[in-house]
Structure 1
Amino acid sequence: MMNGPNLRALTTADFEESMKLSSFAFQYPLTAEQLEERRSSFLTDDVYQVGVFQHEQLCAQATLLHLNVYVNGELFSMGGIAGVSTWPEHRRHGYVARILKELLVKMKENGQSISMLHPFSFSFYRKYGWETYIEYKQYEMSADHLSSLRNKLSGKHLGTVKRVEDWQLLQTTYDRYAKRYNGMLQRGDKWWKESITKRKPGTYAGAYNDQGELDGYMIYEVANRIMTIHEFITLTAAAQQRLMLYIAQHDSMIDRLRWTAPSDDCFAYGLDNPRIKQELIPYFMARIVDVEPFIAQYPFEPSDQEEIFTLQISDEHAPWNNGHFELRIASSGKATLTKVELASPQVIISIGALTSWLLNYQKWQVLKHVEQLEGSEQAMKRLQLRIREHTTYLTDFF
């Protein structure tokens, strides 16, 4: 009798097979030097890797990262799922579903109340409770726009821009910026060294105000007469103008400029000719892993009174989130969520739609329109007033 597939954590002995599968699935060859570099970070305290094996041969795998993410200005422990891959002959056997269910249990044990991932297919991960939580705005403009922008800004006293050699000088500015958005990562030294400096090559330019404070920066590179901005981080309108003037000084060496911004960015509105290419691109998905501790940490909008809502949450793959709940939000914005027995809840919603709502990616009207939300419109309106207006954004990838 043949043994069935076995799910277990990867060990150092699985390194070569794991790299072969990753290299094949994501279509990138690894040099000997890159392999050795990855070997040293294959299994660390902040990484958990799991796979499905048939006769001790790796069939499918995924990586769980221990990260922290900002939601309403607060840091939440987040499980980042990456490297989900399966050999073609083992696809459509439910192996990834088994892995995701295993990772949900693991994240709950870790105290990671929210999870995020970059999907190969949005519809695939929706089946397991993840939902779109972010789209970013991608700009593209010509050098002609840069010339007019330079003329517009050159007479203003905006401070200075200097090239920066040390990424550590950017950390404080990044942190202040990240807290403004839902879904931005908290970056430690390791993340800067291993992710930012390697994935975002080029020049660092810092924007300094008259007090000598760094209130903005950009990471960019120029190749084939195209400037690509990997990060454009500003704390003030003056810092944005300062960096745009710096960009405009490149007009003789570039034909086009490309960069990304939060979905609510209004840069084009300030241009003399706002007819530049703008595209909204769905990016990452998120999912509440453990709804009760998530709500306990989640800061709602303060009010003049305590409010109570009754919810029916559906979550097929994390049964601890499935059922009827009482949501009690204090006037301070502190809340609790408790499982209760209910006959008729005010709000009926899936875990994915609830994630999208609480991260402020979609409001109740949209969720109701696409039939992801049912119940009392009065209760939906009252709950919407307690959800803070923070735009979702992410400048990282994993």
Structure 2
Amino acid sequence: MTAFLEYGVLQPDEAQQVIKVEAQCFVSSLDRGQVYFDRIGQENFRVVRQGTRVAGSLALIPLGQWWQGKRVPMTGVASVGVSPEYRGTGVAITLMQQMLCELSEQEMPLSVLYPATQRLYRKAGYEQAGTRNSWSVRMAEIQITDRSLPIYPIEPIEAESFKVLQQHYAQRTNGNLDRSPLLWQEILETTGSEPLYAYQIGEPDQPQGYLIFQQHRSAGETILRVQDWAILSAPAGRTLWTLLADHRSMIDKVRWRGALLDPLTLLLPEQSPEMKDSDRWLMRIINVRSALEKRGYPIGVAAELHLEIQDDLLPINTGKFILTVSQGQGEVSSGGRGDMKLSIRGLSPLYSGLFTPSQLQAIGFLDGTESAINAATQIFAGPSPWLPDFF
């Protein structure tokens, strides 16, 4: 059946087919599917079709991702769905491989997605590269009172009020996004039953953070759900906790998205926060040279790493490369000794820093000389990669 599949951009008369398949795959309503489709835009959907029938589809979301303070262009992949009658016939892997070939032609450095199943995406060269974590703490356990910074409500609640602060915050982490309008819409979406609230931390002309949240009542308890936040200073962090704690008379718990080891929790008096869930997202290095050169590196590290990479789908990535790092910049040239050997899948958790080179070698994801392991450890050092956003 796969021999008759054609890959391409979604055509206008195929839109309803895609919306129906997406609704069935993700247990959603057609109305919700239409809203999501309109937000992403028809031009960002790709399909494989058999004749006039859409067999499978996905959405491409243009984004940027911050790595050691540098923005690397990245394409988020979402809504990968296959119609039930085509499942198990190779439609999904055909769709993914053809999409990656398209992005390779555009010299896109990276792609990231959230997997429903890892096996499919690993076949296409994706691998675990970071986390998305949900934390919870009871209001009574915050016990911080610091009002050194003023707090101002933000009205109207629009993305433009937060973008600059969010960018400054995201640049300090690894893996956070330069968000698209679609993701801001998802964050700021609200209903009449659960209004959205937003506050700026710091003086109007010198903001040091913000907090966006909703309040939810369920199963006998009330939850303050943080939709988004950014903190740029220690006083702003303490003020954030104070603002949250001031809701304790009516709110039982606060929930938020944070790093796997969230530094904000270090401000609390006890180890009271609980991790509610933790998922891992997958990354695919689409263009090795571009991905390594656009990424930032620790200032003060001067090192050279000789790589030998195997990519069964994208031949441009197969071969020997020399990564030379100095003053936070990376430069890639062809050739070298191939002191560190790995597949394109193994490169993702090394690139992101999800695991150390020694850990990756211990589980067989790469093989390197002692000097190569030491060089890679310096080059890819940094905070644990995470994402607050889902797509």
Q: TM-score, normalised by structure 2?
A: 0.89
Is the alpha carbon distance of 1:199 and 1:54 closer, same or farther for their aligned partners in structure 2, counting shifts above 3 Å? Answer: farther
Are the aligned partners of 2:111 and 2:285 in contact in 1 as well (CA < 8 Å)? yes
Aligned equivalents of 1:68 and 1:262: distance in 2? 19
Deviation at 1:273, TM superposition (A): 3.4
1:84 aligns with 2:77: no
Of 168, 171, 178, the match for 2:170: 178
1:238 aligns with 2:226: no
Once the two structures are overlaid, the 10-residue window that deviates more, 17-26 or 281-290, is: 281-290
Aligned equivalents of 2:226 and 2:175: distance in 1? 20
1:15 aligns with 2:6: no
1:187 aligns with 2:179: yes
Are the aligned partners of 1:359 and 1:390 in contact in 2 as well (CA < 8 Å)? no
Q: 1:259 corresponds to which residue?
A: 256
Kindly provide the amino acid, as one letter, of the partner of residue 185 in structure 2. Answer: E
Q: 1:35 corresponds to which residue?
A: 34
Deviation at 1:347, TM superposition (A): 0.6
Kindly provide the amino acid, as one letter, of the partner of residue 42 in structure 1. Answer: G
Deviations 1:72-112 (A, max 9, x none): 21122211111100122211111111111111111122231
Paired residues for 1:219-368 under 5 Å:
219-224=212-217, 225-279=222-276, 281-303=278-300, 307-323=303-319, 325-340=320-335, 345-368=338-361
Are the aligned partners of 2:339 and 2:369 in contact in 1 as well (CA < 8 Å)? yes
Is the alpha carbon distance of 1:296 and 1:304 closer, same or farther for their aligned partners in structure 2, counting shifts above 3 Å? Answer: closer
Aligned equivalents of 1:246 and 1:130: distance in 2? 40
Aligned equivalents of 1:191 and 1:40: distance in 2? 6
Deviation at 1:297, TM superposition (A): 2.1
Partner of 2:42, secondary structure, is coil
Once the two structures are overlaid, the 10-residue window that deviates more, 266-275 or 362-371, is: 266-275
Deviation at 1:119, TM superposition (A): 0.8
Are the aligned partners of 1:53 and 1:59 in contact in 2 as well (CA < 8 Å)? yes
Once the two structures are overlaid, the 10-residue window that deviates more, 16-25 or 194-203, is: 194-203
Aligned equivalents of 2:184 and 2:2: distance in 1? 46
Deviations 1:187-230 (A, max 9, x none): 35x34653332279743433433575221111111111111112
1:196 aligns with 2:181: no
Aligned equivalents of 1:355 and 1:113: distance in 2? 12
Gap runs ≥5 in structure 2: none
Aligned equivalents of 1:2 and 1:353: distance in 2? 28
Q: 1:377 corresponds to which residue?
A: 370
Aligned equivalents of 2:40 and 2:28: distance in 1? 18
Q: 2:115 corresponds to which residue?
A: 119
Aligned equivalents of 2:135 and 2:326: distance in 1? 41
Aligned equivalents of 1:9 and 1:137: distance in 2? 34
Is the alpha carbon distance of 1:219 and 1:378 closer, same or farther for their aligned partners in structure 2, counting shifts above 3 Å? Answer: same
Are the aligned partners of 1:3 and 1:55 in contact in 2 as well (CA < 8 Å)? no
Aligned equivalents of 2:247 and 2:58: distance in 1? 42
1:70 aligns with 2:66: yes
Aligned equivalents of 2:57 and 2:37: distance in 1? 16
Aligned equivalents of 1:268 and 1:185: distance in 2? 22
Partner of 1:300, secondary structure, is coil
Q: Give the percent of matched residue pairs that are identical in Structure 1 and Structure 2.
A: 21
Are the aligned partners of 2:202 and 2:209 in contact in 1 as well (CA < 8 Å)? no
Kindly provide the amino acid, as one letter, of the partner of residue 52 in structure 1. Answer: V
Gap runs ≥5 in structure 1: none
Aligned equivalents of 1:221 and 1:337: distance in 2? 46
User: Please, what is the CA RMSD of the aligned residues?
Assistant: 2.7
Partner of 1:134, secondary structure, is strand
Q: 1:160 corresponds to which residue?
A: 150
Kindly provide the amino acid, as one letter, of the partner of residue 367 in structure 1. Answer: L
Kindly provide the amino acid, as one letter, of the partner of residue 15 in structure 2. Answer: F
Kindly provide the amino acid, as one letter, of the partner of residue 172 in structure 1. Answer: V
Aligned equivalents of 1:351 and 1:119: distance in 2? 18
Equivalent pairs, count: 383
Deviation at 1:279, TM superposition (A): 4.6
Partner of 1:316, secondary structure, is coil
Is the alpha carbon distance of 1:309 and 1:212 closer, same or farther for their aligned partners in structure 2, counting shifts above 3 Å? Answer: closer
Q: TM-score, normalised by structure 1?
A: 0.87
Deviations 1:214-270 (A, max 9, x none): 211111111111111122321112111112111111112122221121122134444
Is the alpha carbon distance of 1:36 and 1:173 closer, same or farther for their aligned partners in structure 2, counting shifts above 3 Å? Answer: closer
Partner of 1:135, secondary structure, is strand
Aligned equivalents of 1:67 and 1:89: distance in 2? 32
